[in-house]
Amino acid sequence: MATYGEPEWIGLTVLMEMLGTDANGVRRVARDAGAERYKLGTVEVYDKKIFFSNLGKKSGKVKKRVISADHLAKMKAGKARVAREEADKKKKTK
């Protein structure tokens, strides 16, 4: 049990079952609610109090995630690099 001032955490899989959605759906709702996320490897938990207190207030459509132009360019460059590496691997195996 959390002491005063410490957040209580709830797991991603529990939230997926409660909301009837997938992991990305939970992440969208949490981001919109402003809930704090803690992730270490495959363990992903959210601040329970913030998640549920803001969930009732946000009954409308969830806002889409905004990606900056710089971030989008880095993502595309990374995908292109991975594609080149895979093509090089295929050439070497032939």
Q: What is the mean pLDDT of each run of 10 residues along the chain (94 residues)?
A: 68 90 88 85 88 70 77 93 90 78
Domain 1-63 architecture: Orthogonal Bundle (1.10)
Q: Residue 85's pLDDT is what?
A: 92
State the virtual CA torsion across 7, 65, 23, 72 in degrees, nearest 10.
-120
Structural domain boundaries in the chain? 1-63, 65-94
In sequence order, which residues have a C-beta less than 8 Å from that of residue 49 and are 6 or more positions away? Answer: 7, 8
What is the DSSP code (8-state) at residue 84?
H
Cβ atoms < 10 Å from Cβ of 15: 23
Evaluate whether 46 touches 9 at the Cβ level (below 8 Å): yes
